[in-house]
Structure 1
Amino acid sequence: MVEQQEASGDRLTTRIGQAVMLLHAGDREEARNRFGALWSELGVEGDALHRCTLAHYLADTQDDPGDELAWDLRALTAAEALSDERPAEHPDALAVRAFSPSLHLNLAADYLKLQRPDPARVHLRRARAAADALVDDGYGGGVRAAIERLELRLRQQ
């Protein structure tokens, strides 16, 4: 049973990766369609890491800032559920910990787009506080730089 779940999870991860490639290639509509189909297939009771990943990328495919915010909130909720579901030493829990600054950064950016600077500041503080989980690599440096850029924009509000 566990082997079936792992194989199913690997196939889902592969399909998520294929949709991410479409998104990064600029085909937002097809990526949104595929992510949406995967979300429906996974369901609200599906694996929290998969829900977090799907919701995060679904947010990136939205045209409406309110819809983007809704998906980013789902991503954060799934990440928090993962922390509750799995022991802290589980590799996925560590991955989500490193993903947390980005999740809060995205929410801060969403709120700023919606001209709601107060909740933007709250999530930006959370992103900054969680940034210690980032390694000193391209991803970590990119997230830290994005936090600083958004802080500058918020100061100008």
Structure 2
Amino acid sequence: MSDPVMTRIGEGVQLHHAQGRREDARDLFARIWDDIDGERGDPLHVSVLAHSMADVQDDVSEELVWDLRALAAADLLTDERLAEAGLPYTAAGLYPSLHLNLGECYRKLGDLGLAREHLEQARAGMGALGDDDYGRLIRTGLEELTEKLAG
């Protein structure tokens, strides 16, 4: 069964990534946020939407707010809910990406201590990822953030 909210979020992701229409994606995500009643919505919708909304922010401080919302909602997710939505991840598999994004935000904001903490949390969760495109993407991101923090 298709989840209409996840479908709409996917449309926003396509606007951003495939079509380069960040502002249109941000507008769509804002409408979806209102429709799901913000942080009171289904934790899956909140986490995925906030994670996606963070990617279309122009201001790093706003990006951080959305990434923190995504992390808080992920703490409420179960493997069963992800399976029910047809997602091929475990709840634990979401954390490396969430912490990677937070680490990058904190790095951009100049808080290298928090950036390193989130980098370590991302590394600690890597065992939950497979050797697939998603896992390789996160591993590459971790290597890049490690280099940025070292230099």
Equivalent residue, structure 2, for 1:67: 62
> How far apart in 2 are the matches of 1:67 and 1:95?
27
Counting matched residue pairs gives 144
Task: For 2:47, give the aligned amino acid.
Answer: C
Percent of residue pairs identical: 46
Contact residue 100 and residue 119 of structure 2 kept, 8 A: yes
Equivalent residue, structure 2, for 1:38: 32
Equivalent residue, structure 1, for 2:6: 13
The reply on whether 1:90 has 2:80 as its aligned counterpart is yes
> How far apart in 2 are the matches of 1:58 and 1:71?
6
Higher helix share: 1
> How far apart in 1 are the matches of 2:20 and 2:96?
25
TM-score computed with the length of structure 2 as normaliser: 0.90
> How far apart in 1 are the matches of 2:68 and 2:94?
14
Residue deviations 1:103-152 (CA, integer Å, cap 9, x gap): 00000000000011000000000000011111001110110111011111
Alignment gaps of 5+ in structure 2:
84-88
Q: Specify the SS of the correspondent of 1:26.
A: coil
Residue deviations 1:72-96 (CA, integer Å, cap 9, x gap): 00000000122xxx4xx51517533
Task: For 2:15, give the aligned amino acid.
Answer: L
Report the structure number with the largest CA radius of gyration. Answer: 1
Task: For 1:146, give the aligned amino acid.
Answer: G
Task: For 2:21, give the aligned amino acid.
Answer: D
Runs (4+) of structure 1 moved beyond 4 Å? none
Contact residue 90 and residue 128 of structure 2 kept, 8 A: no
Task: For 1:41, give the aligned amino acid.
Answer: D
TM-score computed with the length of structure 1 as normaliser: 0.87
Q: Specify the SS of the correspondent of 2:90.
A: helix
RMSD: 1.5
Alignment gaps of 5+ in structure 1:
1-5
Task: For 1:129, give the aligned amino acid.
Answer: A
> How far apart in 2 are the matches of 1:98 and 1:32?
25
